[in-house]
Amino acid sequence: MFLKLSQAALATLCVLGGFQFPAAVAADSQVYHFSPVNQYGINLTAAYWNPIINYVTEKSGVKLVLKIGRTSADTTSYVLANEVEFVFTNHLFSPEREQLGWKVFGRRDTPPVHGQIIVADDSPVKKLQELTGHDVAFPGPEALIAYKFPYAHLLSQGVDVKVVFGGNQDGALAQLYSGKVKAVGGNSQLLEGYAKRESKKYRVLWSSEPLYDLALMASSNVPERDRKAVADAFLGMAKDARGREVLSTASAAVGLPVTTAFIPSSGTEYGAYRKFYQSAPTNLR
């Protein structure tokens, strides 16, 4: 009761004083959760996304809260449990998950990414066949580019490896350079970023066809107005000086090109992903 009275008094004072709260915040106090795939480890992923989410919140007037899962499975579980409204993922292009009603409104504009199988630069392994019977690390069972694409290829080549999940890409790579696994399946963009940050060298044994980077998606539960506001804020970052600065700083932190930005997408670019689900082994769908 007291709270309601206080809010009413404050609104009256603002009108009398000609002062207004930011329109979006004042109009709607709905909080949305944004869950990106944990690509770099929790801390670095948070360091990348927090400034961006803050900027988008401020710019769009739609309150977004970052919700990072420890693994890629966590992010997917948040989606399945309807605990998040916005995601940055490529896990939702299977025929079944596309029926969940999530829509692509943008994507990160980076050079094409590849699913790759790599070994350390000084590794004696020269061919995929030499990995037979050895441990190979992947970020997690939900990682499409980093796990499903490479592992499907290994299966198609008849290379039977022992799969080890590192939780995320950095975890998998840490196992490679500590000698626990012989090779790593990964996303080329994340592999390059890691090598750049940690001054490591690796050798690529296999590389998939070029793929688009992950997509910005919104749940069908989000009202169109909020979805559009959030989408405009993401997609307009590159046109705004502060937005560019936020993107530049965030990209530099994870080893991406500082000019990386978000651009509009209708989801049609992800045909390669959808095609994968049509031909992939059942246990990888």
Binders of another protein in range 106-145 (CB under 8 A) = 142
As measured in angstroms, the least distance from the Cβ of 83 to another protein is: 9
The CA distance from 129 to 139, in Å, is 21
Number of residues that bind another protein (CB under 8 A): 20
Burial class (CB in 10 A: 0-12, 13-18, 19+), 273: buried
Nearest alpha-carbon partner for 96 in 115, 112, 119, 80: 80
Question: Among 76, 89, 208, 219, which residue sits at the site for another protein (rule: CB under 8 A)?
Answer: 76
Q: Does 71 help bind another protein (rule: CB under 8 A)?
A: yes
As measured in angstroms, the least distance from the Cβ of 140 to another protein is: 10
Q: Token digits for 23?
A: 């329109």
As measured in angstroms, the least distance from the Cβ of 37 to another protein is: 13
Alpha carbon dihedral 201, 207, 211, 214, in 10-degree steps, equals: -50
Q: Does 282 help bind another protein (rule: CB under 8 A)?
A: yes
Task: Please enumerate in sequence order all residues whose Cβ is within 8 A of that of 104, keeping only pairs 6 or more positions apart, or say none.
Answer: 215, 216, 217, 265, 266, 267, 270
Chain-centroid distance, C-alpha 31: 20
Question: Among 9, 50, 95, 252, which residue sits at the site for another protein (rule: CB under 8 A)?
Answer: 95
Q: With CB under 8 A as the contact rule, which of the stretches 69-77, 219-227, 237-245, 257-265 interacts with another protein? A: 69-77
As measured in angstroms, the least distance from the Cβ of 235 to another protein is: 29
* Contact present, 150 and 185 (Cβ < 8 Å): yes
164 to 34, 97, 167, 175, 183: CA distances (angstroms)? 28, 25, 9, 9, 10
* Contact present, 173 and 186 (Cβ < 8 Å): yes
Question: Among 1, 5, 81, 241, which residue sits at the site for another protein (rule: CB under 8 A)?
Answer: 81
**Interaction mask 12-51, another protein, x per CB under 8 A:** ----------------------------------------
Question: Among 73, 120, 229, 235, which residue sits at the site for another protein (rule: CB under 8 A)?
Answer: 73
153 to 94, 116, 156, 254: CA distances (angstroms)? 18, 10, 5, 28
Q: Is the CB of 95 or the CB of 271 nearer to another protein? A: 95
As measured in angstroms, the least distance from the Cβ of 166 to another protein is: 12
Question: Among 82, 156, 259, 266, which residue sits at the site for another protein (rule: CB under 8 A)?
Answer: 82
Q: Is the CB of 89 or the CB of 265 nearer to another protein? A: 89
Contact positions vs another protein (CB under 8 A) = 69-71, 73-74, 76-78, 80-82, 94-97, 100, 142, 277, 282, 285
